[in-house]
Amino acid sequence: MSKKPNNAEKVINENENKQGEFEKNLTIRTPTKGRRSSSIKGAAGAMDERQDSEFDQPLPGCFQKVSKITNDKIDENLAKIPYFHGFLLHEYQPMILKTFGDFLIRVSIRYPKKAGKTSREKTVNSNKGKKSKEKSKEQSNDGSIRFNVIIGVCIKDQDKDKVDHLDETKHEIIDVPMTIEQNIDGKWIHFYIDKKKKFGSIEELTDYYRHYTGFYRDKKFSLYKGIPMTSWELDRTHVEIGTKTLGEGAFGEVKSGTWKCTNSDSRETNTPLPVAIKMLKGEESKVAMKEMMHEARLQLCLRHKNVLKTYGVCILKTPFMIISEFCENGALREYLKKNKVDIEDKLRFCLGSARGVDYLHGKCLIHRDLAARNVLLNDAKVPKIADFGLARYGNSYKMSSVQKTPIRYLAPETLQSYKFTQKTDVYTFGLVMWEIFENGQEPYVKPQQHMESIVPKNGTIRVGHLKEVMKNDLWIKFNSETPPTLQTFVAEKVFVYDEKKRVTMIEVVALLKTLVRKDQSYLKDTMATQTVG
């Protein structure tokens, strides 16, 4: 008589052939908040049930790897996954993944390499050459751009050289590519990291690696906790794009619109806010995407009355968007050109803008692109510093000579050595104040009378002229409308060749406060003179 097995004998010993037993016997049920739980019979076991039907097809090549991911495919397969983060860039994952086992899913775009490979890229052995051709063919089967689904996961740092003597746990984030196969109808049916283990859904795949360690390029990983979108990753369905175009740039345009701000404590949305929507033209430019995300990341960390507020980004699908507060009066330059502005308001524009720049410097930021065109006015005519595409953290930044820059706004040390500091921002802000008192005119376009020894009368000031003007202390001068105190301050402490002798933004703000609050007698006298005249 055979012995009846007891309950203990039925329990799977995970230490003995753990993976094989999992595939044969274990059923995992994964509760997902807000959605029905999914069940798998040990990952590969789930595949076994289907292999007698759709997976075991005699037709060769009936499955094809997915290389193009459209918005429709995102809606159909990815958008409902709570830990899907759209086209989030790799370098922004550390902001989201903090703990061992934290993971997210994102889409990465692989752009074609430019012509002209290095000798190392050209030199391959015959075996590698064959693989390279196959890979090249695969990448180009849908044009020049290839899409990949990536699992970004936080792992324990396995580089012993990086671990200090205190035995603290170090973490790093790796990108694990997930291959997706579709049938002839375009339906996604296979998902895998290791092609020996294919799954019927992304949920099944993440369930498996939640319980069992995965390996990718000699790195161990586990998918313990899928991290949902952050507060600055906005739901595109809450954004409505308007018809008015507010501006255009090299990579896209800015449109008016509204955004329903979701209350984190409830599912209800507040009254739609008017917003400005900066949209990328498409996914064709990796540079454009990086610049957009760089700008958004900087602005999301900034909160000041005189700095444009950014609410977040929409990157689940294309086109990518930055959602910022709407400034009804538009760019300061255009406002000055279209409206008659009195001296008091001009001084207030200077003071508000200066406070914004001073705040940025307090955050260890260099704006690098200060100009009246990059200052916006809201409905109360409060100036706000905007356009952080060129901004950089740090005390100094060395620019590559091939970058596009607004030459007429560059400080002398930048023209000489391509160096930017907070002191170069101070110099440029002096030109912003000049623009304000010149009703939005750009500086150094035409020579002033005192520059005619260097620049021909009615000629155009070029880079060589500009350098000579600076070396000879023939700086641009303010008009007679400008308060004399401000003219003297800028001439002696802002427009100076030696950056060490230049004041800080704190001192600029202090001077402007004095003019706005205490120099009322000058303003009254000036206004009286204008009235009599």
- Catalytic residues, by residue number, are 369
Q: Which residues make beta-bridge pairs with 324?
A: 276, 310
Pairing of strands 365-366, 383-385: unpaired
Alpha-carbon gap, residue 224 to 211, rounded angstroms: 8
Q: Taking the CB of residue 116, how many other CB atoms lie within 10 A of it?
A: 6
Instruction: Annotate 232-243 with three-state secondary structure.
Output: CECCHHHEEEEE
Token pair 């602005």 in the structure block, residue: 299
Is 28:207 a contact under the CB 8 Å cutoff?
Answer: yes
Residue entry with tokens 């799954």: 199
Strand, helix or coil at 109? strand
Q: Transcribe 336-378 into DSSP letters.
A: HHHS---HHHHHHHHHHHHHHHHHHHHTTEE-----GGGEEE-
User: CA 226, 315, 281: angle at the middle one, nearest 5?
Assistant: 160
Does 518 show up as a binding residue in the annotation?
A: no
Neighbours of 375 (CB within 10 A): 27
Written as six digits, the tokens of 287 are 């540079």
Longest alpha-carbon distance in the chain? 122
Annotated binding site for ATP: 278
Annotated binding site: 278
